Amino acid sequence: MLSDFLDQAAAHRRVCIVGHDWGSILAQMLCGLQQEVPPPTYRIDRVVLASVPPLRTFLRRINPRQMVRSRYMGYFQIPGVCERIRRDDFAYIRTLWRRWSPSLDPHHPQLDRVIDCLRRPHGLEQATDYYRALINPLRLFGAPEALRQLRLMFSAKPWPALILVGSEDDCIGPGMYRGGPHAFPHPDSAQEVLPEAGHFLHLERPEVFNRRVLAFLG
């Protein structure tokens, strides 16, 4: 859907993609689409991946500690979990945020806006459905589109990429990013750890984050 939008909005133009968390995954898949025949009409110039490393790097580095960090994905599989989270006034969501970004003000207005969105009818279900769709091995059997998506995500992508992670990120630890630029084999690809920042590094260190991104995009 996003690629179709770019095909219309940026046809025959060069674009830069900046993605945070799941946006990082989307950016990686958009680069993968550039390698298909025929490719989309737009052309990716550079990408910035924040708070989620290249997926091929992530899977090579997976370890028990990271599996503990990622246990929330399993929690979202439990039937009735959304009702339980609502009954507790979204305390579980706020706990995740404190764990992932320990230095972030828990009363940051952006976090309150997210909770307001989750309070809408079916808002929490819609925000967590992709976890339930992701952890479904049946999607991989006899499903050409699912296999295509895996190829899009895990192929090497020769585009300049800036990979950013917060030093305090406890959603995906900084160690999971080692070797990240190898997934984007280009002389301009780089990786940086932002000190005193967690998973929401663009909220915690906005000046530093923006400066790094703008310098990379030129």
Calculate the dihedral angle through the C-alpha atoms of 176, 181, 183, 188, rounding to the nearest 10 degrees: 160
Q: What is the mean pLDDT of each successive set of 10 residues along the chain, which is 218 residues long?
A: 79 92 94 90 96 95 96 94 97 96 92 95 94 67 70 89 98 97 97 98 97 97
Q: Which helix (H) or strand (E) holds 113?
A: helix 109-118
* Residue type for position 142: G
Q: Which two tokens stand for residue 171?
A: 């959603």
- Rounded to whole angstroms, the Cα distance separating 46 from 100 reads 27
What the block records as the tokens of 99 is 């764990």
Q: What is the DSSP string of 5-29?
A: HHHHHSTTSEEEEEEETHHHHHHHH
Q: How many CB atoms lie within 10 A of CB 143?
A: 12
Whether the CB-CB separation of 48 and 161 falls below 8 Å is answered with yes
Neighbours of 119 (CB within 10 A): 12
Report how far residue 100's alpha carbon sits from residue 109's, in angstroms, rounded to the nearest whole number. Answer: 17
∠ CA 135-30-139, nearest 5°, is: 25
The whole-number pLDDT of residue 131 equals 87
Nearest in space to 163 (alpha carbons), one of 2, 10, 17: 17
Alpha-carbon distances, residue 27 vs 84, 107, 116 (angstroms):
33, 29, 27
Cα(33)–Cα(117) distance, rounded to whole angstroms?
31
State pTM to two decimals. Answer: 0.91
What pLDDT does residue 137 have?
Answer: 58
Give 91-146 pLDDT, tens digit per residue.
999 999 999 999 999 889 999 999 999 999 999 999 999 888 776 655 555 567 77
CB 22 within 8 A of CB 53: no
Neighbours of 150 (CB within 10 A): 15
Residue 60 main-chain phi, psi, to 5 deg:
-70, -25
